[in-house]
Amino acid sequence: MRRVSCAMTGACRHTAMPTQRRARGHSLISLLVGMTVGLVVMGVLFGIFVSMKTSFREQSRLTRLASAETRLMDRLSQVVQTAGFYPYREYNGVPRGGFEGGAGWQPRQVIAGENGTGAAGNILRTRFRIQRGETVRDCGGDRPPAADTPATYLQTVSVSAAGVLECVVESADGTHRQTYALAESILRFAVTYGVDQDADGGVDRYLDAAAVTAAASWDAVATVRFDLALAKGLPQGTSPEALTQVIRVAYRD
């Protein structure tokens, strides 16, 4: 568009009017698209965060469970592997000669058990003898009181009415008694005994406590097998954690 301007001399000139530029901006559609993309990205990131958090919790739970299982098996190993231990100065040519009979024990017997009732009703008992200076530890990882005169200690492993696997350590003279909680939420605690009938160092068969007693074979027990089911630390509705451990008796002579 042009405007005509005339001077007093009559001369005229044409001047160009400035053209107005159209203002540019974001349309409503582009804003909606941007918001949608942003929400999608935030949703993906939130999903990744939740997944990582859940995975971390699950990994932490499994780590704690594995640690508890390892600790439990260490304690049960301690019960079996200390059975029959006695001070070397006490040896007089008769293995286990210091273990006297009485109160359900035969002379020289160091392992005993009961079937009990229910899936978690089995009971395991072992005996060992110590005197001052010995480094033997009980099922709780502690050193029982020891004097210059050798003393006999009894360890009893069983599941309480509350489902707690316990180990009771007590001296034969009744001067010491300590109870240790080994694991919680025990649904199954079965103990069987590997019997070496021909004394060749191998296990001929596994028997429960009643069968070993009937065969009078407690002195022939070479290994102890534990079968457990734990529910502690597992999500609701998850099958119990099954554990099996075979432990060799260390002091058979």
What pLDDT shows up at residue 65?
Answer: 60
Q: For residue 23, what pLDDT is reported?
A: 54
Q: Which residue has the higher pLDDT, 71 or 124?
A: 124
Burial of 176 (0-12, 13-18, 19+ CB in 10 A): middle
Note the pLDDT of residue 247.
95
Q: pLDDT of 119-162, one tens digit each?
A: 889 999 999 999 988 889 999 999 999 888 889 999 999 999 99
Least confident residue range of 31-35, 83-87, 152-156, 169-173: 31-35
Task: Please compute, for residue 242, the number of CA atoms within 13 A of its CA located in the half-sphere on the CB side.
Answer: 4
pLDDT at 148 (0 to 100): 87
**Residue 62 pLDDT exceeds 70:** no
pLDDT tops 60 at residue 17: no
| Secondary structure, 3-state, 95-118 | CCCCCCCECCECCCCCEEEECCCC
Torsion angles phi and psi, residue 147, rounded to 5: -125, -175
Distance, in Å, from the CA atom of 73 to the CA atom of 182, rounded to the nearest integer, reads 9
Tokens coding 123 = 């009971």
